Amino acid sequence: MNQAAVAVPSPSGSGLLRDAPGVRVKFCGLTRATDARLAGALGVDAVGLVFYPPSPRAVTVAQALEIVAAIPPGLTRAGLFVDPDMATVQRVLAQVPLELLQFHGAEPAGLCRAFGLPYLKAVRLRPGMDVAAVASTFPDAFGLLLDTYRPGVPGGTGEVADWSQIPSLPGRRIVLAGGLHAANVGEALRRVSPYAVDVSSGIERSPGVKDPGRMVAFIRELRHATDQATDYATAR
């Protein structure tokens, strides 16, 4: 689909790190400036750049700078890492103006907080996992990104997480990921009530290449679901 032909909803993104009503939206795994521009026009709150070379969505510093230059002010720039050493993260931060870090490996809290930026800690929902106990080991995380578990794959599986595993975590921001797309994001909001949703494969035509129609459809369905929730709350 040609981007010019996409019916774009009015932008309303205020950034993932800013207090604002409603559910935030993060588009992750961007590799092209054109996709970043559309994300900004759609009013998403954050974009994620993957600095994990084995991923099909990985970007170089040069690609990251091109993408960052294409997004509007106010949209949060996140960098995703998997079990990095400190030097790797510092090297990226010295060149790319990131505002949020996202860790998808077995990183300890000490490493996650070492860079002086807010961070999301990904928690892959293994069967039987005590999610509250895992969350307690990252007390200073800006949010917990709850994702699907698949052995050996740190994210981007396209598989829906087991939402029934997610406990009530008062005072913690939940960022829901794992197999989200236009057809299930409304149900995800109703069942989980997350602070934010994070989508990657659900808006792609191939890994790392976003599909304009799917991007628009995702935002449209999310806003439809949030509008319905607001109408219901107002009517009560």
Q: What is each CA distance from 182 to 3, 132, 213, in whole angstroms?
A: 18, 28, 10
**Residues classed as catalytic:** 28, 147
